Amino acid sequence: MFYESQDINKKNEYRDSLKIIGSLSNLFSDSNVPYLYYRIAEKIFCNSFSANDLSRGDVALDAIKNNIGIGLKTFLAGNNKSFQKVAEFNKDKPLYENKSPAKLIQAVAELRNERIKFTENLYGIDKSIYHCVIRDENSFKLYEENMNYVDIDNITDVKKVKNSIRFNDAIHDYSFNISKSTLTKRFNTSSLLDEFNVEILKNPLEDIRNCILQNELLYSSDNNIKDTVYLPLYGKNKTVYEKSGLNQWNANGRLRNENEVYLPIPVNVHKKSPAFFPDRDSPFNLKLPKGDVLQVKVCQDNSKALMSYSNRELGQWILRDVLSLEEGELVTYEKLQILGVDSVRIDKIDNINFEINFASLGSFENYLESN
């Protein structure tokens, strides 16, 4: 697992940071069980172990370090075998609704597996795990286990109980909540990696105020993202055209490389963020989630396309490395829907350095509607 292989100083830093946040629990609750908001837990983990934070990526994992993908979770100890949410499929109901329980569970399991695979391909991950911070009375406990694909061939004991469907795949127990479209998995957490006490401050607000006044703390932001736009991976009516965009390699005319693609830049993006991209045909750097950097440019009439300078590099990344498509296989909106993505997010660092990542279903429409 991940935690046991880390440097002792990093582990101490991690524990200390969790203790500090846990000590502030009386800001939120009167319970003896320390409070820990999941976003804070993610930040502490990434900062302590110098892991890459994936929380902005709309993917199945929260962090990556040394090609290990990590799903970060925090929950109450309870009976040490509780069900916890591992995936949500609100936007995918048309793919499984009105099916029998067995067919519904097979569809959900396929969606779950495809999204883990997509994330692993996107970031070059060799192995994925869960890292859990378990909240118990005056203590935190740490637990890890492998993030397994659902073993579809061995799904058994499919049983509908009220608004949920429970099943087993010979590895784990699962439950799918039909109304909430959430998949939960049982975590058996009796075997722990670590456990430590948390001293909860009686009056944390007063302690924080005194600390700030005594040390004259200065506040600053390390956010280096200047601006962000979203680009769709489809055209009108949620259609990925067969001879343009991600299927540009299939266009008529000259002989084309099987990886030739471009990302469409709708005119609404230029209107909304006119100074975001460099001028047409001006080269700039585009950093991929794995850290590789492509040289790209805005091109075509009305600056309507984003392409790599070697027009096969962008396609190699999207079509082969991430989507795992065979040469000659068309990208369809249905394929994107299965993976839970239909847009890309472009972050501007400065005038020549940009970063790209995939974005969840509906992200482009939400971007256009935002102020």
Per-residue model confidence as pLDDT tens digits over 330-348: 999 999 999 999 999 999 9
Class of domain 227-369: mainly beta
Express each pLDDT in 48-101 by its tens digit: 999 999 987 789 999 999 999 999 999 999 899 999 999 999 989 989 988 999
Region 243-253: what's the mean pLDDT? 94
Whether residue 222 has pLDDT greater than 80: no
H/E stretch holding 39 = helix 38-49
Q: Residue 371: what pLDDT?
A: 67
Give me 133's structure tokens: 């911070």
> Taken in order 53, 57, 60, 64, is the CA torsion positive or negative?
negative
Q: Residue 207: what pLDDT?
A: 85
| Least confident span in 150-154, 169-173, 283-287, 309-313 | 309-313
Region 310-319: what's the mean pLDDT? 93
Question: What value, to the nearest 5°, has the Cα angle with vertex 151 and ends 150 and 156?
Answer: 105
Region 170-177: what's the mean pLDDT? 96
Region 233-248: what's the mean pLDDT? 94
φ, ψ for residue 136, nearest 5 deg: -130, 175
Which amino acid, one-letter code, is at 152?
Answer: I
Place of tokens 């790599």: 308
CA distance 84 to 142: 15
Give me 329's structure tokens: 């296989």
Beta strands 68-76; 127-136: pairing state: parallel
Region 318-336: what's the mean pLDDT? 95
Write the CB contacts of 223 (distance below 8 Å, at least 6 apart in sequence). none
Comma-separated ranges of CATH 2.40.330.10 domains in the chain: 227-369
Whether residue 218 has pLDDT greater than 60: no
Region 2-19: what's the mean pLDDT? 96
CB 131 within 8 A of CB 3: yes
Q: Which long-range contacts (CB under 8 A, 24 or more apart) does 358-362 make?
A: 358/57, 358/58, 358/59, 358/122, 358/322, 359/58, 359/230, 360/58, 360/91, 361/91, 361/336, 361/337, 362/91
CA distance 371 to 6: 43
With the CA atoms of 253, 250, 265 and 276 taken in that order, what torsion angle do they form, in degrees rounded to the nearest 10?
Answer: -90
Rounded mean pLDDT of the chain?
93
Whether residue 221 has pLDDT greater than 50: no
Q: Residue 283: what pLDDT?
A: 94
Express each pLDDT in 278-299 by its tens digit: 999 999 999 999 999 999 999 9
